[in-house]
Amino acid sequence: MKNSLNRIIPNDMKAYKGMNQIFKQKNRKLVAETLTKNEKKQVDSLRILFDLIPITDGMTLSFHHHLRNGDGIINMVLNEIKTRNLKNMTLAPSAIFPINEPMVDLIKNKNITQIFTNYMNGPVAQAIGDGYLEKPVIMDTHGGRARAIESGELIIDVAFIGVPCADINGNGNGLEGKSACGTLGYAIADMKYAKHKVVITDYITTNIKPIEIESKYIDYIIKVDAIGESEGIVSGTTKPTKDPVQLKIAKDTIKLIEQLGYIEQEMSFQTGAGGTSLAVAQMLKDRMIENKIKGSFASGGITAYLVDMHEYGLFKRLYDVQCFDHEAIASLRRNANHYSMSASKYANPYEKSPVVNDLDIVILGATEIDSDFNVNVTTDSNGLIIGGSGGHSDTAFGAKLTIITTNLIKSRTSIVKDHVTTITTPGETVDCLVTERGIAINPKRTDLIKKLANSKLNIVTIDQLLTIAHDLIGIPKKIELNQKIIGLIRYRDGSIVDSIYQLRGDQK
Amino acid sequence: MRRSLLFIPANSPAMLQNADVFAADAVIFDLEDAVALSEKDAALDLLDQFLNKFKLNSIEKIVRINQLDSPFSLLDLKLIADERIDTIMLPKATSGNTLSLAKKLDRIEKQKHMTKTIKILPIIESAKSVIEVSMIASSQRVNGLLLGGEDLATDLEVERTEAGHEIFLSRAMLILASKANKIDAIDTPYTDIKNEDGLKKDTKFSKGLGMNARVCIHPNQIDAINEIFSPNKNEIEHAKKIINAYQDSLKTGKGAFSVDGKMIDKPIIERAQKVIEKAEQWNLL
């Protein structure tokens, strides 16, 4: 069947129906939290733990991704699954990185047959694209994953929670120890609602402050030599771009925000850790200082640049679901108004007041964007999975001003398309697109268009941008996708916005 | 009128593709120093294809050809000098080769039945060209002079310094020759592309001497250069006041008048008119 975005999805799935139809569920659906009854929690090894629980064929195991591409925990668990040759396992990691390559063999051998995640790239994404995973991978948003877990839609048998610093009762946080990664916000729903909760740590101490992982939920603690590799824990890009095209985009983005009147007292702001995003943050800092603006909060994945703005007094509070660099981790330790937040508090659509709903401005990227402003950050133009929503759809929905920044042309390919290969974020939640060759405003935002009527900025329509791109590089040949569905993009309310298709043989 | 002129190596497809993305008033497609000997023909072909395909609208299109006494310059002119471009940048200019280029362009324009006149932007980058700068500037096709500080320093056997004392006299002579002929005085590039503060300081100094514009060797230099060579808000507002007061004085027949307590005379009115002209051209009003 087709959903309201005209995308084909399996008949047995809940179809995305558009902004007017979603979130009509009035009461938040919550399963009961699972508190531990265990008094003796320390277990010597994963091998013993697998026997103790016991972990058997067909179970669902979850993980968080704060250790990113330095994570050692998923691979430890995969090794145990492999040793025991467990079958039909479901994994629910909040993200999958290249370091998780050992998962590929387990997928091919049917040890793992289903995956729920919010983001993935690397060999696992390639294997799924090649059609090896038995059931379609479900790609959630950060807020959507928390909703799915708390509502019982995603039932987790065992949650493995990597905790850089824990006590023997299972209290913990991510602030200390050799694998310190900062906040553990994505693990909170798993901690509360999984049937069994296991803390895996490489640093046991006493007097944990603040307590983010609470012992009342934790059933088992395993001490290992290392839960991760520190160099992989920090995010790849942590410096503003020096690329002149991206700098132009960043400058125009700031001018746009300014002209739309969003640089004002008590403003709130979120951006990512990419080079253009960081350049926007850096320029925003200058504008805020120049205009004596004091913002209320910045949120999301926190970087050194947002910490700097907070410590400069430009944002009173930081709400942090993921520390992107060491400076953010250090800030979480030293700054009283730098708060950890759970994925639910961040972006769960049924949370009473999720942080995303209080956002004024969010700056997001795009792999592709189409003339309806639908954005793809999940696949490339061939359909290979190279990312995922993470908080993209959540923040686009919540923020008053959602701006996509991207080069119009990258590697002689237009980022603006007639139709994106895969819809990650519906265009109805996207307001502006800033490229090096012009700024397009979603026609639905007539208020913004009116404000920019006399602007000296290069305001164009998104169709004009598409024409410019076609004039410059020609009209690309349509890429025919395979018909077999290997993944589904699940919106934050649980409905399906699009399908992901198996890569064609010649794309392997 | 120019403020910023961006150099783009003619053998770089990615940079050519973004030629009109930035806010430079002119782009200089470089067939000379940026292109290795082995790539001269490929660069020329690429630039030819690029100019056929891409419309750069209102941006001035300048081509820096190879030295006029090199075997490449004739090929450059034969293929590129036509309606698609506005200006030829002449390296190692002297009064002799400026005249020679002007004659070549006369012939080319006639042969190609061109409707436009291609201008010449000579680079003053040797002691001889500094000495001859007044004659070079007076050639009819010349609409600006560019100081080539690096080559000039080599010719003068001096090191280039941040303070720029070694090129002070040359800068001054180029400015005088430009102003005397009512053409643009364009300053040498600031080569430390990572030093934005240095670029701003040196460009402000350059503007203070009388330069109108500066070439950029990196797109990230454009905004600072444009800002410095543009009239600022206060200057525009003050110029508007002067023009308004001047128009009132014409209506009322008052000879002398003042603005903000200061007497206004003809040179001040002319300066105000120039400010408004620049503000109009660069969309600053």
Asked if B283 is an interface residue toward chain A (Cβ–Cβ < 8 A), one would say yes
- CA–CA distance, A137 with A384 (Å, rounded to integer): 13
Distance from CA of B193 to the nearest CA of A (A): 11
Q: What is the pLDDT of residues B267-284, one digit of tens each?
A: 999 999 999 999 999 989
CA-to-CA distance for A226 and B183, rounded, in angstroms? 70
> Looking at the structure, do residues A295 and A207 belong to the same domain, yes or no?
no
Tokens representing A150 are 């708390």
Cα→Cα distances A291→A258, A262, A287, Å: 11, 12, 6
> Residue A306 pLDDT > 90, yes or no?
yes
Residues 178-217 of B with CB under 8 A from A: none
Whether A248 sits inside 8 A of B283 (CB atoms) is no
Is A13 a domain residue? no
| pLDDT 10s digits, A36-57 | 999 899 999 999 999 999 999 9
Q: Tell me which of A49-53, A248-252, B18-22, B253-257 is least confident.
A: B253-257
Amino acid (one-letter) located at A400: K
Residues A196, A83, single domain; the answer is yes
Six token digits for residue A382: 């061939």
Q: pLDDT tens for residues B85-121?
A: 999 999 999 999 999 999 999 999 999 999 999 999 9
**Which residues lie below 8 Å from residue B109, measured CB to CB, with a gap of 6+?**
B116, B117, B118
Q: By the CB < 8 Å criterion, does B218 face chain A?
A: yes
What's the pLDDT band for A169 if we cut at 50, 70, 90? very high
Tell whether A247 lies on the interface with B, counting CB pairs under 8 A. Answer: yes
Domain assignment present for residue A30? The answer is: no
Contact A139, A378 (CB under 8 A): yes
Rounded to an integer, the average pLDDT of A149-169 is 97
Give me chain A's average pLDDT, please: 94
Q: Name residue, tokens 């009035």.
A: A26
Least confidently predicted of A221-235, A260-274, B212-226: A221-235
Mean pLDDT across A335-348: 97
| Residue A472 sits at the chain B interface (C-beta within 8 Å) | yes
Contacts of B219 in chain A (CB under 8 A): 244-245, 247-248
Pair (A269, A140) in one structural domain: no
Question: Does position A4 have pLDDT exceeding 60, yes or no?
Answer: yes
State mean pLDDT over B189-198. 96
Whether A27 maps to a domain, the answer reads: no
Where residue A26 falls among pLDDT bands split at 50, 70, 90? low
Given B21, B218, B283, which is nearest A248 (Cβ)? B21
Q: Mean of the pLDDT values across residues A60-72?
A: 96
Tell me, yes or no, if B220 comes closer than 8 A to chain A by beta carbon: yes
Cβ of B21 within 8 Å of Cβ of A245? The answer is yes
We report the CATH number of the domain holding residue A202 as 3.40.1080.10
Give me the pLDDT at residue A506, please.
Answer: 60
In a domain, A260, yes or no: yes
Structure confidence by residue, pLDDT tens digits, A431-456: 999 999 999 999 999 999 999 999 99
Total of domains in chain A = 2
pLDDT at B93: 97
Chain B: nearest CA to A287, how far in angstroms? Answer: 16
B66: left (phi over 0), alpha (psi -120 to 50) or beta: beta
pLDDT at A238: 67
Pairwise CA distance, residues A424 & A370, whole Å = 12
CB of B7 within 8 Å of a chain A CB? The answer is no
- Domain boundary, last residue among A232, A259, A294: A232
Task: Please say if the pLDDT value at position A160 is more than 90.
Answer: yes
Write the pLDDT tens digit of every residue in A84-95. 999 999 999 999
Q: How far apart are the first and last CA of chain B?
A: 16
- Say whether pLDDT at A414 is over 70: yes
Three-class secondary structure of residue A403 per DSSP: strand
State ipTM: 0.86
For B270, phi and psi rounded to 5 degrees? -65, -40
In chain B, which residues fall in CATH 3.20.20.60?
4-229
The pTM assigned to this predicted structure is 0.92
pLDDT-derived band at A235 (thresholds 50, 70, 90) equals low
A71 and A198 share one domain = yes
Burial category of A28 from C-beta neighbours within 10 Å (exposed 0-12, middle 13-18, buried 19 and up): middle
Same domain, A267 and A327: yes
The verdict on residue A171 lying in a domain is yes
Chain B touched by A244 (CB under 8 Å): yes
A456 interfaces chain B, CB cutoff of 8 Å:
yes
The yes-or-no verdict on residue B255 having pLDDT over 90 is no
CB-facing half-sphere around the CA of A443: CA atoms within 13 A: 5
- The per-residue pLDDT for A236 is 59
B17 interaction partners in chain A (CB closer than 8 Å): 409, 412, 472
Q: What is the pLDDT of residues A120-139, one digit of tens each?
A: 999 999 999 999 999 999 99
Paired tokens of A356:
């995303």
CATH number for the domain whose boundaries are B4-229 = 3.20.20.60
Tell me which H or E stretch contains A462: helix A462-473
Report the residue from B21, B218, B220 with minimal CB separation from A436: B21
Q: In degrees rounded to 5, what are phi and psi of residue A200? A: -115, 125
Give the percent of chain B with pLDDT over 90: 88
**Domain co-membership, A212 together with A253:** no
Q: What is the mean pLDDT of residues A219-235?
A: 87
Helix (H, G, I), strand (E, B) or coil at A147: helix
Q: What is the average per-residue pLDDT within B231-258?
A: 89
Question: What is the per-residue pLDDT across B25-75, written as a single tens digit (0 to 9) for each?
Answer: 999 999 999 999 999 999 999 999 999 988 887 899 999 999 999 999 999
Is A367 a member of any domain? yes
Residues 6+ apart with CB under 8 A from A3: A9, A15, A16, A17, A495, A496, A497, A498
**Whether residue A481 has pLDDT greater than 90:** no
pLDDT for residue A252: 97
B251 compared with A436, residue with greater pLDDT: A436
> Is residue A148 one of the residues assigned to a domain?
yes
Closest-CA residue of A relative to B220 is A244
pLDDT at A233: 75
Kindly state whether residues A290 and A183 are assigned to the same domain.
Answer: no
Residue numbers of the domain that contains A94: 42-232
Residues in chain B closer than 8 A to A283 (CB atoms): none
- Residue A29 located in a structural domain: no
What is the tens place of the pLDDT at every residue in A491-507? 999 999 999 999 987 65
- In one-letter notation, the amino acid at residue B99 is L
Q: Which pLDDT score is estimated for B87?
A: 98
Mean pLDDT of A57-61: 98
E strand or H helix that includes residue B102: helix B95-111
DSSP, res B131: H
Task: Give the nearest partner residue to B17 out of A247, A456, A472, using CB atoms.
Answer: A472
Within 8 A of B218 by CB-CB distance, chain A residues are 244
CA distances, A421 to each of A250, A380, A487, B56 (Å): 26, 7, 13, 31
Backbone phi and psi for residue A198, each to the nearest 5 degrees, phi listed first: -125, 120
Evaluate whether A100 touches A68 at the Cβ level (below 8 Å).
no
Spell out the alpha helix ranges (H) of A207-292. 230-233, 244-259, 275-290
- Using a CB-CB distance cutoff of 8 angstroms, which residues of chain A are in contact with residue B196? none
A215 & A152 share domain: yes
The reply to whether residue B219 touches residue A436, judged by beta carbons under 8 angstroms, is: no
Decide if A38 contacts A187 (C-beta within 8 A).
no
